[in-house]
Amino acid sequence: MADQEEPQLYLVTPPSLDLGSFPDLLGRVLDAHEVACLRLALATRDEDTIMRAADALREVAHARDVAFVIDTHVVLAERLGLDGVHLTDGARSVRSARKTLGADAIVGAFCGGSRHDGMNAGEAGADYVSFGPVTAGTLGDGSVADNEVFAWWSQMIELPVVAEGGLTEERVRALAPLTDFFAVGEEIWSQPDPVLALSTLRDAMR
């Protein structure tokens, strides 16, 4: 449940990355900012590409005591010794993932803007739910997770909540009192200096 404590950072990898340079860049970002969790979220479905990226980034994350989860791929999370999985289909796969990965694994669920999906995910055993995007755009169906969803969740539900998708300084300031984590991805990786870009968003959380 969100309270007046400062939200924590949750990093999401870009959808494609260069293993020749990205691990070093990630290390610099993690050395500059305290991050609670890193999510591998590659667009590719190529198993070898995902496994090589997971091996490289797990080493970077775990060397800094940062939990490392993977989008969707429950079997790979188990095989590669990752800390858990982030599910993108609301509550539907939570119970199965929990059974496969065990009680100690992190199981998170992206629930769009649906309180109902969020509650079902929590009841099924999710460790957190994420809502987003938090800024209106043209991707997907154009829906947005507004302040009201986060305000209601922070008042009514104990389960940690994550805000993600379309983060701007303005939206971060508005949501900081209402969320436990901000999942930051393309907002920083698309910038010339990701460390500085994350500093800007971090300042908006305070």
| 83, pLDDT greater than 80 | yes
Q: How confident is the model at residue 139 (pLDDT cuts 50, 70, 90)?
A: low
- Three state DSSP letters for 192-203: CCHHHHHHHHHH
**Best CA proximity match to 71, nearest among 102, 52, 45:** 45
Helices (H), 39-175: 47-62, 74-79, 94-101, 115-124, 147-156, 169-175
Asked whether 81 and 60 are in contact (CB, 8 A), the reply is no
The per-residue pLDDT for range 55-81, each reduced to its tens digit, is 999 999 999 999 999 999 999 999 999
- Structural domains in the chain, CATH included, are 8-205 (3.20.20.70)
Q: How confident is the model at residue 96 (pLDDT cuts 50, 70, 90)?
A: very high
Asked whether 117 and 91 are in contact (CB, 8 A), the reply is yes
Asked whether 198 and 34 are in contact (CB, 8 A), the reply is no
pTM of the model: 0.95
